[in-house]
Amino acid sequence: MKIATGLVARDGGVDAFAEAAARAQLGLGGARADLVAVFAASDNLESVEEGLAAVEARLGSRALMGCGAQGVLGDGREVEQGGVVVWAASLDGGDVQSFHLEPVGTGDGGFVIAGLPELDDADAVFMLADPYTFPVEALLAQLGDDYPGLPVIGGLASAGGPDGTVLLHDDAVANSGAVGAVLRGVEVHACVSQGARPIGPEMVITAAEGNVVHELASRPALVRLREAIAELDTDERMLAANGLLLGIVIDENRPEYERGDFLVRGLVDVDESSGAVTVGDLVRVGQTARLQVRDGGSADEDLREVLMGELKELRTPPAGALVFTCNGRGVGMFGSPDHDATAVEEAFGPVPAAGFFCAGEIGPVGPRNFLHGFTATMAVFPG
């Protein structure tokens, strides 16, 4: 397998697409581009059709996916506002199938997803979606039921052109739905860093309905949360005061739970009279929950732990990676530029990694896939 990237930090329209593709082509060294990903900021999208043609002229890929982006990353750098990046992979015999999905109403208030390929023998799915027209969470839930354990990795487009959201599918530009690719015969490791760390005790959900937690450890949920906060040390209480989250274990079949086993969600509302707490996802009785905090230090620690865990599993640096990071990270979260791109290089070495700043990130926690926020999700390709 061979992977290459090309980043152009300036906004040069069609020329920026062409230059980024030329750099990726040079990195492949004559190998065929089986899968290409293209991410471009809004100032480059006025002539996106011509830009896409310039990429295809240089790389002639079997499958291409991409979207409009607030900013891009690649070559160890992050351009939080602007730029074009092209990522290209020669998959060494693996199969790739691109797709464009659209929700189609059924007339009874429901919908079906048109364009979804067969996934029985898939190893991984990449998906880039329009945040306004595509029911990402509903599809992820259905795929979790139908194909448990199949990783879906990607993000929500975060910039558009004159006609709205920009999604790229092979040689076409779409303005709605979702695009992506299915990989078969290719080893892909999904890594998810939710940028949070657990604090306080583990608590079992003992009464719940929908996304409302009524009881934790057989006590009113709000009472038990306040007790847990009171038990924290001073530094942790200060972090909790800046924003408290709840981590919910997705896969209960583990002897103990580490930070990557929790799906991190915000506390949406509290009911002082009943003691119920509303969480930003569905919950069920029997799940284990734990308080979580998120700040620059926690996010840095979590990402590096995830990356080092992946490197230990691989034992050698990967061939490359696709990175989908939240547009709420970057300098705003870490106080300095290039954080996530630099962390990847410090863990893996100067491997070809590229991606974009998303309006939401897609990746697995346990056997199921979720839409996240303030998260960095990655597809890592073993060498």
Which of 293, 315, 342 represents a domain boundary (last residue)?
293
The whole-angstrom separation of Cα 84 and Cα 74 is 9
pTM: 0.95
Residues 179 and 223 in one domain: no
Residue 228 · residue 200 · CB < 8 Å: yes
Residues 322 and 174 in one domain: yes
pLDDT tens per residue, the chain (383 residues)? 999 999 999 999 999 999 999 999 999 999 999 999 999 999 999 999 999 999 999 999 999 999 999 999 999 999 999 999 999 999 988 999 999 999 998 888 788 999 999 999 999 999 999 999 999 999 999 999 999 999 999 999 999 988 899 999 999 999 999 999 999 999 999 999 999 999 999 999 999 999 999 999 999 999 999 999 999 999 889 888 888 899 999 888 777 888 788 999 999 999 999 999 999 999 999 999 999 999 999 999 999 999 999 999 998 899 999 999 999 999 999 999 999 999 999 999 999 999 999 999 999 998 999 999 999 999 999 98
Residues 35 and 81 in one domain: yes
Residues 243 and 356 in one domain: no
Residues 189 and 202 in one domain: no
Residues 259 and 323 in one domain: no
Residues 209 and 288 in one domain: yes
Residues 323 and 355 in one domain: yes
Residues 260 and 374 in one domain: no
Q: Which domain holds residue 270?
A: 197-293
Residue 123 · residue 188 · CB < 8 Å: yes
Residues 52 and 175 in one domain: yes
Token pair of 362, please?
Answer: 């897609």
Residues 274 and 352 in one domain: no
The pLDDT, as a whole number, for residue 239 is: 85
Residue at 76: amino acid letter: G
Which of 274, 293, 312 represents a domain boundary (last residue)?
293
Which of 293, 318, 350 represents a domain boundary (last residue)?
293
The whole-angstrom separation of Cα 352 and Cα 211 is 40
Count structural domains, the chain: 2
Residues 126 and 215 in one domain: no
The whole-angstrom separation of Cα 362 and Cα 68 is 16
